[in-house]
Each structure stands twice: as C-alpha cells, then as structure tokens.
Structure 1
Amino acid sequence: MRSKKRQGNFDVLKIIAIFLIALHHYAIWSGWKFDPGIHLNKLTAQTLVMGGKLGVNLFVMITGYFMINSKPKIKNLATIWVETTVITLFVYLTTIFFHLDGQVFKPFIFIRRLFPVVFGQYWFVVAYSLLYLSIPMINTVLLSSNLIKIKKGLFTGFIVLSISTYFYLNRGLNFSHPIWLAYVYCIGAYIRLNKDQYSKISSSRNIAYILVTILFSVLINIGLQYLFSKPNLAITQTIDFFGWTETIFYSRDASPLMLILAVLIFILFMNIKFPARKLYSYLSRAAFAVYLLHTAPWFGVNYLLPVIVNADRFYSSSMIFIYGILSMGLISIVSVLIYTCLLPLINLIMQIIEKPIIFLQKFIFE
C-alpha cells in the first residue's frame, strides 16, 4: 500500500479559507451604514464580503479532493462535534462569568450551548456533518461514473443550484446548505479524479484567471451600487424584484462567481507544492477553532465584532481594510492560543468516547 504524504499546500489553503471567512464576518457584522451610490469605503468593505462563500467553497473542496478515495471516519466527525461543544461552552461560560453586556445564566440557553450541533448553533457544522455522513453514497455514485458523466452532472448542478437561485430563491425548495456543500464536494472530488489534466494548467495562467474573476466581481459590485442608487430605473426595479442586493454575487451561498473563483484558487494551490510542516498541520486544525470562536452564538455577532473590534468607527477605505486584516489576524492568534489550552480537554473527551466511536464506525461506514 502506498503511504499517504500530507500536503502542506492544502493545510495553508485551509488556513487561508478560514481567514477569508473571518474577514467576511468582519465586513457584515461591523455595522457600517453607507450612503447609496458608489463609494470607495463601501466598495472596500463589500469586497471583503466575498471571503465568506469563497472560504466555505474552498474548505469543502478540500474535503472532496481527499475523501473521494478514502473511507470516512466517525472519529473525525466526533472530533468536530467535541471541539464545537467545548469551544461553545467555553465562550458561553466566559460571557456569563464576566457578565458581558449583562449576560446571565439561563438554563435553556445553556442546553443549546451544551448541544450546539443538535440545536443548529452553527449552520456550517450542521451542514458539513450531514455532508460527511453522506460521503459513502456520494463516492459510490461518483466512482461508478466516468469523468464525462460527472462533468455533465456538475454543469447541470451549476445551472440548477447556482444560476437559477438568481431568479428565484426559496431556502428549502430550490436551495439547501447540505445539498450545496455536497455539490461543492463533488467538484473537489472531480478535480482529484481528473488531476492529471488540471495539473497541466500553469500557475501564471491560473493567477491571471483569478485576477480577472476578482476584477469582474468588483465591477459587478460597482454596477449594482450604481443601480441601487437609482431606484426608479426599470432595471433596478427588476433586479429588486428578483431579490438582488449590492453584494449578491459575494453574499449569496450559491454565487457562481465565488464558486468559479474558489475552483481557480483551489487548482492554483493544488499545483503549488508546499513542503509538509507540523506547524501548517496544527494551524490548519486550529483554524476551525478560529471559525467557532469568532462566530460563537451571541458573542460573535453581538459583542466581539461590534463592541470589541468596533470597526464602524473607521470610514476610510484604507483603515477599513488594514484594521480588518489586523483585528481578524489578532483574533485568529488568540483563538489558536485558546484552542491550544482547550486541546487537552478535547483529547480527554475523545479518549472517553473512544469505544462508542469504534462501534459507530463499524455500524455506519463498514
């Protein structure tokens, strides 16, 4: 059996993906109130919004790339659940202990924090868990099909799951987070199955495609800023009828531009070989804690970003960008340190539930 070597480039890409998600939350939770029309400061803040869906797509593509030829492990899913629970409880108890913004202990809130996945405290963790449990079925379908059929299926999925939502979006009807993640997983798996072809794409050519896609996205954003400053225009009324916003191509989960950009960045990192490092590996694991800590229920959206970070005091485009990088970078560092302190507890819990994990592995995946 050929030994599997860890690839540092994907560890780095996972770290970048989580940081892009953090910048997305910085942009949408800081609370800026911009005037209608085209403004550089608004353009800067809205451009940071693209990191959210881009980061999610990259994270899930990495899963598809590696899991298409592997068997899922309940231990990996259990680790996600345990880390989510421990970190959520840590944040909740910290807010109670320090009485942040008048927070007091409430039994029902505590129960939700004690079972954050069950009560859907993090949409991504829930959707990703459902995806992970579905991997054997997805892999069976993909591995029993040829590349042409998979490519046709991905193209059809692009029209149905992405393009169609720009004319009508009804969550639960024509959009679902688990289904979207499954689709993105299939893209990552397809790239792995067709790796030889994508390995031929030069990095310089790929970077050019990435820059063009980003520029095109920004130009669309500028155009929408202008249109929404003219509410009486027929085209503005039409796109408003379809539920569009200035940042729809950044913020909509099934954004075709963010999906294309994610594919291009993914292929770029696939072809750039970073040597494996223990530091990269550890930080890529700890990066998930960065997501959990800065999006913790109540704390992230109501206190960390609007009160502690307090970025809405800055309105210059340069300060919005620089402060975003610095503040979210600092939050990321603190999150990694907190995760490191909590890791012994996480490992202890994993040891305690080792036997149930072994049983579930045999029951579900074998």
Structure 2
Amino acid sequence: MKKRDSRFEMVRIISMLFIVMYHFTMYGNWTNDSINTVKIQFFRPWGQVGVALFVMITGYFVANRQTDFSKAWKRIKKLWVKTLFYSWIILICSFIFYFGIFEKHDYLYAIFPVIFDEYWFITSYIVLILLTPVLNMIVEKWDRKNLIILIGIILIFADVVPFIKNNGTPNAPLGNMFSVGAMLAPYLIAAFIRKYNVKVKIGWALGITVLGVLLEYTSLFVLKHGIMTLDISSFTFGLLPLITAVGIFCIFLNLPSFHSKFINWIAAGVLASYLITENPLFRMYFWQKLLNVGRFQDPTWKFILMGILIAIVTVLVCSLIDKVYEIVYSKVYKLIKMKFNIIKK
C-alpha cells in the first residue's frame, strides 16, 4: 500500500483548522453590537479557504484517475456511512442531553443528513465525487487552452457572481457559495496543476497567498466603513479565498515529500471535527454553552489566541473520537461481510 505524502495530509489538517476557526467566528455568543465588527469577523475569510484546500487535495489526486459512476460511488460510500453515524449519534444525544428546541424537519434532516443537505459541505462534496467521471474525462481529453477557458467560466459564475449578488439565495447560475458550484473551480485548478505539472516558485506562491489574505482583510475594512453597501463578510467567499487557497497549496507543493505516521494518523480523522461541531442540532450548544466562547471576546489578543487554540484542540479531540468510530466501523463491516458470505454460500 502506497504511503500518503504527509505534505498533503498537513494541508488537510490545516484546511479543517481554518473551517473550525470560521465556525468560532460564526456561532460564538458575541454581544449583538459587535457581531458585524472586523474583529469578530477575523476568522471568517479562512472558512472558504479551508473548503477550497480540502477540495484541491481531492482534485490533485482523483482527477487523473480513470473512473466511472461505480468507482465514484465506492469513493463516497464510506463517507456517507460516517455522516449517518455521527448525525444519528448526535440526534440520540440531543434527546438525552437536550441541546435545544428544534423543528420537526431538523430531526428529519438528521435521519437523512446527506439527502437533505444537513451538512452543505458533505452533500456538495458527495455530488462533486459523483461528477468526477465527467470532470475527469474533461481533464483528460481537453487541452490546456480549453481547460483554462472552462476554469475561467466557472470562476465567473460560481466564484464572482454569487458574492456580488450576496442575498443568500441560490439564484446564481451555479448556486450560491454553499453549493457544489463553489467546489468546481478548486477541483479543476488542482487537476490542471497535476496534469501540466505546474510549478509555482515558493516566492510566487507566498506572494499569491499574501495577496489573497490582504484582499480579504482589506475588503472587511472597506465594507465595514460604508464605502460599499455589501455585507461586511461578502468577499470572504468566492474568488478571494480561492486565491489564498491556491497560494497555500502551491507553497506545500514546493516542500519536499515526507512521511509522518503521526500527521497522517491525525489527518485521517479531521473530518470528524466538521461532522461533530457543525451538526445543526449541536453547533450552537457546542460553541455557546459547552465552550461559551463569548467570554473570550475581549481583549483582541485573547479573542485571536483562543480562536486558534480552540480550533487546534477541537480538531485533535475529534480526530481521536474518530479513531473509536473507525474501530467500530471496521468490526461491524467485517461482521456484516462475514455473514453476507455465509448467506451466499
């Protein structure tokens, strides 16, 4: 079995840290008059950066493979089961520990989390994987020029139009920023980098990253001070975080390949931090009651430091929880497989 390159496993861990930090900003019990401040929105740009990085890893390794819908289904089957497991466990816990008052449809979504888009990222990611037979065929057959044109078209309609309209509804041609449309560009960009062995020197990669970050934080200040009428968080989605993500990805491509059992071990379970803390039945309880992150609102240094530390601890703890899940899954799977073979005989 080929060892996983720990460079990319580090990117996987970082991507999830970014996403958890974003949720720290989103769901904290901050005072009402401070929610729309630059400080409270400090981690917000990094959520979409994390999403783009996670998808780029997939694009880099999957887009060059021959695949069909049967193989695509095999890729997402285990993720589907894991999503069901965490969603059902949290649903049971919500009855036992009473996380809050919810509508009936919230429980329906918890029972069928993938179909009913309980986790937008999981549902969209699964749809993306199911589209890989078509996407991979395009990557393989089309030349450099046509791929660049396709990526450009997707960037305009999936990463520019939605955040300009910015009314929270999926009325852009490829959906809003919480849809599979937002995943197409990072997937194809990573596929393009892999296919043509694109080399971006470390200096340029750092420059791209810094440019993306500066543009995002500049937009927060500009929008906050009324120069434009868009919401303060408008440019934390779409093109600007994608620029940052591409820069970070290229930085890691410049690093020498290496193998770390610890990094790979942690990376294998980081998705659990999303499935646990972003569950609609649990997230507000987690951030506002269990952690009570609002107490870290002031001073600014404490807000930033605790946001980073909480993200690190959350990802590590949830990765450890996922190891228990993997043991249970492995034993149940072997048991089912054994019984199925007995029945076949």
What is the TM-score normalised by the length of structure 2?
0.86
Mapped to 2, the partners of 1:342 and 1:219 lie a distance apart of 42
User: Which residue of the other structure, out of 234, 240, 244, is the alignment partner of 1:248?
Assistant: 234
* Equivalent in the alignment of 1:132: 129
Moved more, 179-188 or 7-16: 179-188
The answer to whether structure 1 residue 312 and structure 2 residue 329 are counterparts is no
Deviation at 1:118, TM superposition (A): 2.1
Partner SS, residue 6 of structure 1: coil
Deviation at 1:82, TM superposition (A): 1.1
Counterparts in 2 of 1:186-265, with a 5 A limit?
Answer: 186-195=188-197, 197-198=198-199, 201-227=200-226, 236=228, 239=229, 244-250=230-236, 252=237, 255-265=238-248
CA deviation profile, 1:292-315 (whole Å, cap 9, x unmatched): 111112201x20001122122222
Contact 1:283 1:336 in 2 (8 A): yes
CA deviation profile, 1:140-193 (whole Å, cap 9, x unmatched): 112111112101221222222222234435514423212221232111111111
User: Which residue of the other structure, out of 171, 183, 186, is the alignment partner of 2:185?
Assistant: 183
Deviation at 1:283, TM superposition (A): 1.6
Mapped to 2, the partners of 1:122 and 1:37 lie a distance apart of 24
Mapped to 1, the partners of 2:280 and 2:33 lie a distance apart of 30
User: Which residue of the other structure, out of 112, 118, 123, is the alignment partner of 2:120?
Assistant: 123
Partner SS, residue 173 of structure 2: coil
Identity, % of aligned positions: 23
Consecutive unaligned residues of structure 1, counting only runs of 5 or more, are: 228-234, 356-366
Give the aligned CA root-mean-square deviation in angstroms: 2.6
User: Kindly tell me: are residues 165 and 74 of structure 1, through their superposed partners in 2, closer, same or farther at Cα, counting changes over 3 Å?
Assistant: closer
Counterparts in 2 of 1:317-356, with a 5 A limit?
Answer: 317-351=300-334
* Equivalent in the alignment of 1:271: 254
Deviation at 1:35, TM superposition (A): 4.4
* Equivalent in the alignment of 2:97: 98
Deviation at 1:32, TM superposition (A): 2.1
Residue 51 of structure 1 aligns to which amino acid in structure 2? W
Mapped to 1, the partners of 2:51 and 2:132 lie a distance apart of 17
CA deviation profile, 1:84-130 (whole Å, cap 9, x unmatched): 11112222222322344578xx9976554333212221111111111
Residue 116 of structure 2 aligns to which amino acid in structure 1? F
Moved more, 305-314 or 27-36: 27-36
Contact 1:7 1:273 in 2 (8 A): no
* Equivalent in the alignment of 2:265: 282
* Equivalent in the alignment of 1:45: 40
Consecutive unaligned residues of structure 2, counting only runs of 5 or more, are: 339-345
User: Kindly tell me: are residues 321 and 204 of structure 1, through their superposed partners in 2, closer, same or farther at Cα, counting changes over 3 Å?
Assistant: same
Residue 43 of structure 1 aligns to which amino acid in structure 2? V
Mapped to 1, the partners of 2:240 and 2:282 lie a distance apart of 31
Alignment size in residue pairs: 328
Deviation at 1:284, TM superposition (A): 1.6
Residue 61 of structure 1 aligns to which amino acid in structure 2? M
